[in-house]
Amino acid sequence: MFNIALFGAGRIGQVHAVNINNHPETNLYSVIDPYLEGAQKLVDSYQAKIQSVEEAMADPNVHGVCIGSATDTHANLIELAAINGKAIFCEKPIDLELSRVRDCLAVVEKHNVPMLVGFNRRYDPQFRQLKEQLGAGTIGKAESLLITSRDPSPPPAEYSQVSGGMFRDMTVHDLDMARFIIGEDPVSITAHGSCMVDPAIGEAGDIDTAVLVLQFPSGVMATIVNSRRSGYGYDQRLELHGEKGLLQAGNMKENLVQHWGDVGCTSAKPQPFFLERYQDAYIAEWQHFADVLAGRCKPECSGVDGEFALVLAEAALESMKSGKTVIL
C-alpha cells in the first residue's frame, strides 16, 4: 500500500482523493491545504490526517505526492518532493514560465524520482481507443487530425493574467493531445485567434476563440479548434483521418435517452465540464501512477512532455502576433 500526500483539497483534489481511496494499492495518507476547512472535510471522509508542507515532505511514510494545488505552487512542491525522494504526480502545468519549468525539471532529474504530469486527456478511454485503432492499422497511416475543444463558458477576464492566457491555459491540453495521437513532435505551428465571446477578455489582451494548425515531420497536419464558450456542455472531440479511413471520438452525453417530439429528436447534452467528462480518465490516470509507484512502468507523460506543450503554446502566441508560421 502506497501512502499519498495530497496537496490541494479543492475541486481537482477531491477527485484525486476518491481515486486514491478506491484504488486497492494506494492510501490517502494526508491532505495539505492552507484552507483548513476543505482539508478537514477530506481527512474526515477518508481517515487521513492534515499535514503541513514541511511535515508531509519530511514524513518517511509518505511514498508519493499528488499535487493539485494552485498553479504557482507546483514547481516548488515538485522540487521539494524530488529532494525528499517522493514519487510525483502533478497536475499541469509545471509552471507558466518556461525557464522555471526547465529549472524544476533539472532538480527532478538530479534526484531521479519518477514524475507524472497530469495531462488527464491522455487517459481518456475514448481517445485511447482511437489511438489504439490507429496503432492497429485500422485507418493505415495518419494524414490529418482535428481536435475540437470548447469550454462551456469563459472564465472571468481577470483570469487571463493568472492563467497565462488561453493558449497556455486551455490550448496546451490540445497541443499535448496532438503530440500524443500523432506520436511525433511538430515542425511548425500557425495560430489564429479572435475575441468573440467576451470583449473584456480582449481588453485584457487575451483571446477566446482560436484555430491552430500544426505540421509534423511525416507531413501530417493537426488542426485545433478552440472556444471558451459552447453553451451545450463541454465539447471534446477528436477526428483522425488516414489513408484507409476516418476515426472519430465524439462527445460523451449525460445520458443516452432520446426524445422524439414535436421539435424533433433530442438527446442529452455532452457532460458539463472536465470533472464529469474525464471522470474515467482520472481513474485511469491514477491507475497509471499506481503502476509507476509499484515500479511496473515508467511515467507515460513526463516533465519533458509538460515542457513541450508549453513551448508549443508560446510558439502559437508568437505566430498569432506575427501572422506567420513559426518553425520549431
Does residue 219 bind its own copies (CB under 8 A)?
A: yes
Torsion of CA 286, 288, 291, 295, to 10 degrees: -120
In the list 247, 284, 301, 312, the residue contacting its own copies (rule: CB under 8 A) is 247
Residues 64-123, interacting with its own copies (CB under 8 A) = none
Q: How far is the C-alpha of 155 from the C-alpha of 161, rounded, in Å?
A: 11
In the list 99, 112, 265, 296, the residue contacting its own copies (rule: CB under 8 A) is 265
Pick 196 or 275: Cβ nearer its own copies = 196
Pick 98 or 197: Cβ nearer its own copies = 197
Does residue 246 bind its own copies (CB under 8 A)?
A: yes
In the list 221, 290, 312, 313, the residue contacting its own copies (rule: CB under 8 A) is 221
Does residue 229 bind its own copies (CB under 8 A)?
A: yes
Least distance between its own copies and beta carbon 270 (Å): 8
Burial class (CB in 10 A: 0-12, 13-18, 19+), 241: middle
Number of residues that bind its own copies (CB under 8 A): 71
Question: Whose grid coordinates read 506575427?
Answer: 322
Which among 180, 171, 191, 187 is positioned nearest to 142, based on CA atoms?
180
> Using an 8 Å Cβ cutoff, are 147 and 238 in contact?
yes
Residues 177-196, interacting with its own copies (CB under 8 A) = 188, 190, 192, 194-196
Q: Computed from CA positions of residues 271, 275, 276, 281, in that sequence, does the dihedral angle turn out positive or negative?
A: positive
Does residue 209 bind its own copies (CB under 8 A)?
A: yes
Pick 62 or 247: Cβ nearer its own copies = 247
Cell numbers standing for residue 129: 481507443
Residues 121-140, interacting with its own copies (CB under 8 A) = 125-126, 129-130, 133, 138-139
User: Which SS3 state, helix, strand or coil, does residue 8 take?
Assistant: coil
